[in-house]
Amino acid sequence: MKFAKIPMATINRLSIYMRTLQDLLEEEMDVISSERLAKQCGVNPAQIRKDLAYFGEFGVRGVGYRVSDLINQIKEILGLNRNWNLAMVGLGNLGSAMIRHGNFIKHGYIFTSAFDVDPQKVGKRLPNGLIINHVDELEEIVKEREAHIGIIATPASAAQSVANQLVLGGINGILNFAPVQIQVPDCCHVENVDFTIKLDCIAYHLSSGG
């Protein structure tokens, strides 16, 4: 099953299901049907079952899914039953905010290095204890600290060059906040986050009366 090509959208949804299930677990719910879960996630129940079916059978017919089991299964599927080391590049408003934000650690994402070009910032210690390094040292330090994922929170103009450095440092996953399309070799997976695109999308809906 793991060899079928899985839709990207499915992976995204699995992450959402997991988040919701974790909330349900805190509310001491131990079994849930696809119908109830679907409602809470804003999707179709069959969608959930199909998404899960790519990877196996996790439910009990006539009963539903055991919440804690399903969480673990999805973690297994997504590769979240371990920690991932993050390298943050660019400590402007956004980069700093993310490092201060506690939510990542909670989900097993750990910042093990941080970089900037600003001499004012290099050498400073961040709230989480990390010392900011100069981007010139990126390749070396990223290797040394075994970073798995690079986060680009630099201005657009620097993004491609940073991406190149990250790839040289052996990184195969990049979360890109810069509003440009970066080019990387096939071995590297890029996810883009662009707030203004989302705002544009809202603007469209507002102005076309939808």
Partner DNA sequence: CCCATAATGTGAATAATATCACATTGTTAA
Partner DNA sequence: TTAACAATGTGATATTATTCACATTATGGG
Q: Which residues bind DNA (CB under 7 A)?
A: 5, 7-10, 32-35, 43-47, 49-50, 52-53, 57-65
Q: What phi and psi values does residue 124 have, to the nearest 5 degrees?
A: -70, 155
CB 138 within 8 A of CB 165: yes
- Residue 22 or 47 with smaller CB distance to DNA: 47
- Residue 109 or 115 with smaller CB distance to a second copy: 109
Indicate the residue type of 67. V
Q: Is 98 in the site for a second copy (CB under 8 A)?
A: yes
Indicate the residue type of 27. E
Q: Which of residues 102-121 bind a second copy (CB under 8 A)?
A: 103-104, 107, 109
Pair of tokens at residue 7: 């839709």
The least distance separating DNA from the CB of residue 4, rounded to whole angstroms, comes to 10
CB 147 within 8 A of CB 168: no
Strands 31-32, 65-66: pairing is antiparallel
Q: Is 85 in the site for a second copy (CB under 8 A)?
A: no
What is the pattern of x (binds a second copy, CB under 8 A) and - over residues 157-176? ---------------xxxx-
Residues 6+ apart with CB under 8 A from 167: 184, 185, 188
Question: Which residue in the block uniquely carries the two structure tokens 């196996």?
Answer: 56
Residue 129's CB: how many other CB atoms inside 10 A?
Answer: 7
Helix (H), strand (E), coil (C) string for 151-164: EECCCHHHHHHHHH
- Residue 140 or 195 with smaller CB distance to a second copy: 195
The least distance separating a second copy from the CB of residue 62, rounded to whole angstroms, comes to 27
**Interatomic CA distance for residues 82 and 209, integer angstroms:** 45
The least distance separating DNA from the CB of residue 48, rounded to whole angstroms, comes to 8
Q: Is 60 in the site for a second copy (CB under 8 A)?
A: no
Q: Is 193 in the site for a second copy (CB under 8 A)?
A: yes
Q: Which among DNA, a second copy, none contacts residue 69 (Cβ within 5 to 8 A by kind)?
A: none
Residues that bind a second copy (CB under 8 A): 2, 8, 11-12, 14-16, 18-20, 23, 40-42, 77-80, 84, 92-94, 96-98, 100-101, 103-104, 107, 109, 148-149, 156, 172-175, 179-181, 183, 189, 191, 193-208, 210
